[in-house]
Amino acid sequence: MSNRSTGLIPCRLASTRLQNKLIKKIGNYPMFAHTYFKATQSNLDNVYVCTGDIEIINQCKELNINYIKTTRKHSNGTERCYEAAQILSLKNNDTIINIQGDEPLVKKENLDLLIEKFREDSKINIATLHKHQISLNNSNDTKLVINSKNKVMYISRADIPFSKQLTKKLIHIGIFCYDFKTLSEILKYKKSKLEKTENIELIRFLENDKNVFSYEIKNKLIGVDTLKEFNEAKDLIEKDKKYLNSINAFYS
């Protein structure tokens, strides 16, 4: 029975807050190439960049990065991953990890954790990640509330659960694990008023009664949306000489 695990990295240049962020250089390579390299070090069977942008495709060719050319019309990464999964002829029970291209600090252990948790419990439709982090009135941070078994109850840009004091929240990390059947079902659901209000795609999964579970990671991850976040990620990566030697050898 087929049960491949495939990492799909949806990439587009038309980001609103930081234009062309995915091809901004960190060390010798564009940011998305760092995400790809990290994913290839995990237990995933295959990894592909999924994009409709010729600039990204050209850099994939230059670096010998596996890529899937998709249409440029997709409104989100889930749609782009679905098209790529169709092109790859994935089967219903094949495992997919949707990894945002702007997560250059992701570790192989993060992705391996998702695969392990997703496959060990048949009740899980979607597995994702979170970190404990202090956050106060920051709408860029999406916060999770989970139950004692790690099942997600709700997600919001508001500070949930409410506290009058500055406390740590569960900050969602936009990496998802599901099988192809679930991915196909997700795209049949239309955006609800609640999802549009919060502008959080995960709400669609919850509203349609999908079992979403989230697991804590300890390492620092920075989803790059702003120039400040890019510079922080760049600084952390370029200080790690051992890592730079590894990625240089990988792309040489």
Q: Are 100 and 89 in contact (CB under 8 A)?
A: no
**In tens digits, what is the pLDDT along the chain, a chain of 252 residues?**
458 999 999 999 877 778 899 999 999 999 999 999 999 999 999 999 999 999 999 999 999 999 999 998 888 889 999 999 999 999 999 999 999 999 999 999 999 999 999 999 999 999 999 999 888 788 888 999 999 999 999 999 999 988 777 678 999 998 999 999 999 998 898 888 899 999 898 999 999 999 999 999 998 888 888 899 999 999 999 999 999 999 999 999
Exposure on the CB side of residue 186, measured as CA atoms within 13 A: 27
pTM for the whole thing? 0.93
Q: Which two tokens stand for residue 6?
A: 């495939």
d(CA 84, CA 100): 14
- Of how many residues is the chain composed? 252
d(CA 126, CA 148): 17
Residue 231 parent element (H or E): helix 227-238
Q: Are 35 and 102 in contact (CB under 8 A)?
A: yes
